[in-house]
Chains A and B, each alone.
Chain A
Amino acid sequence: AQRVTQPEKLLSVFKGAPVELKCNYSYSGSPELFWYVQYSRQRLQLLLRHISRESIKGFTADLNKGETSFHLKKPFAQEEDSAMYYCALFATNKLIFGTGTLLAVQP
């Protein structure tokens, strides 16, 4: 079955600390993975996609097919990174979302 797992509902870190938001997927095909973000009082929006291999707002995510993971990382968290983060898998022509992780960056 196609599934996206985000094991942490809440991740709380201090400003300047490294951040890793975990995402694991289950899919027998070649995966396309995405991170979406929802800041307070804003719409859900695309943060990055693995095929672009880009860094957005200091965040990066590497697809690890052996571990079936697509963890989102940032070396130094900022307060403005506080938001809800969703990992998503494109499979059988649909986008499957994880349950989300709330990142809270403390001053």
Chain B
Amino acid sequence: NAGVTQTPKFRILKIGQSMTLQCAQDMNHNYMYWYRQDPGMGLKLIYYSVGAGITDKGEVPNGYNVSRSTTEDFPLRLELAAPSQTSVYFCASSYAGPNSPLHFGNGTRLTVT
């Protein structure tokens, strides 16, 4: 039982490039989330999903897109990378809503130069 798996662990992008951060969970959780954490800041919610085919914006969705075609996968897409997107990205899942225990991935450290 791997829990929540994020890939890659590290990535350096040039301004304007695009990439997809992968997230998969094997716990059959309905809820999945993407957070970003900037230095000295708390985690900010980017997007979340309450089930396959359903996604919604969080606090800081600009510059990102998500999809949820299956229960297991919740990829995060950056279309035109900007330096402001340099951050650590965490994917998480929970069985019920965010007031049930969140299970986090190990994070992806992204640098945009």
Contact = CB atoms under 8 A, between A and B. Distances in A.
Contact of A94 (B42, B58, B92, B101): B58
B11 to A, nearest CB: 19
Contacts of A90: 98-99
B104 interface: yes
A44 B104 contact: yes
Interface residues of B, number: 23
A4 B42 CA distance: 9
B102 interface: yes
Given A93-B98, A94-B98, A99 B42 contact: yes
B15 interface: no
A43 interface: yes
B42 A95 contact: no
Interface string A77-103: 000000000100010011111111000
Interface of B: 3-4, 35, 40-45, 48, 58-59, 90, 92, 97-99, 101-106
For the complex of A and B, the 6 pairs showing the least CB-CB separation, nearest first, are A97-B42, A95-B98, A90-B99, A44-B104, A97-B43, A46-B101
